[in-house]
């Protein structure tokens, strides 16, 4: 199987976090493939990375929801990238998901079903060649279902569990699987929200954490370490107390 070990494929490449990750890897000398549903939006980013860092870049059309075409997508890439980073995600609206099944389904398919489907196909190919790294950007929202966003949280919980199982399966195959949990991130989509500064990372901070995690071959990474004890406490709360919380 052809392989491009120095190439990084970024899935869901139009988000602020994905763009920061692509910049960090390009700066480190990796060739970059940017993939998203609206690939035309990626042309400027691809050109900028190539000019700024002297790496090879390309863009690819990719719809995470169109699982029937995932195999064809990977085939069109030619040489399989050495690293695949999935930054696909869709928050949705909890209130809408509660009354519209199709809205809830979209959140679940965008954050779990679609990402797991494409990564499973990629994992099989990496396992066959016995090398590669898969990085999934999940969320602390998946640690425990909260009233304010339990549909999104449940999808991220599924994705986190999927990455954990995949990591265990591939542990002796030469393929690494890394789970990244950013917590709050200051992006264009969170602009205007009153996020706690101590818990809110910048996209560039997430990118540095992802690159460092791969270099150190980590398994699970909280972008800001403070999230680890916070989530430990939240998971430890008895259900009778947790259900009284309002967050």
At 13 the three-state DSSP class reads: coil
Query: What is the per-residue pLDDT across 84-119, written as a single tens digit (0 to 9) for each?
Result: 999 999 999 999 999 999 999 999 999 999 999 999
At 196 the three-state DSSP class reads: coil
CB 213 within 8 A of CB 223: no
pLDDT value for 77: 96
Low-confidence spans in the chain with pLDDT less than 50? 1
pLDDT value for 243: 87
pLDDT value for 167: 98
- Complete domains list, the chain, with CATH: 3-242 (3.40.50.720)
Tell me how long the chain is.
247
CA distance 9 to 2: 15
CA distance 114 to 110: 6
């Amino acid at each position: 199987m052809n392989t491009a070990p120095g190439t990084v494929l970024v899935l869901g490449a139009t988000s602020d976090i994905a763009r920061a990750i692509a910049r960090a890897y390009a700066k480190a000398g990796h060739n970059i493939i940017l993939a998203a549903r609206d690939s035309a939006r990626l042309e400027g980013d691809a050109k900028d990375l190539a000019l700024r860092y002297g790496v090879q870049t390309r863009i690819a059309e990719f719809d995470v929801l169109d699982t029937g075409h995932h195999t064809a997508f990977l085939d069109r890439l030619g040489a399989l990238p050495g690293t695949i980073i999935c930054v696909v995600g869709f928050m949705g609206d909890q209130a809408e998901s509660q009354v519209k099944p199709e809205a809830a389904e979209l959140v679940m398919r965008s954050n779990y079903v679609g990402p797991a489907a494409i990564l499973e196909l990629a994992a099989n190919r990496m396992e066959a060649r016995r090398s590669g790294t898969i990085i999934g950007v999940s969320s602390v929202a998946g640690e425990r279902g909260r009233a304010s966003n339990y549909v999104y949280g449940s999808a991220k919980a599924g994705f986190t569990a999927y990455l954990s199982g995949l990591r265990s399966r591939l542990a002796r195959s030469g393929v690494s699987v890394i789970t990244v949990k950013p917590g709050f991130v200051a992006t264009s989509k969170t602009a205007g929200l009153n996020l706690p500064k101590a818990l809110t990372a910048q996209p560039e901070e997430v990118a540095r954490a992802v690159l460092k995690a791969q270099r150190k071959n980590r398994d699970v990474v909280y972008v800001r370490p403070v999230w680890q004890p916070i989530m430990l406490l939240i998971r430890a709360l008895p259900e009778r107390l947790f259900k009284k919380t309002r967050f």
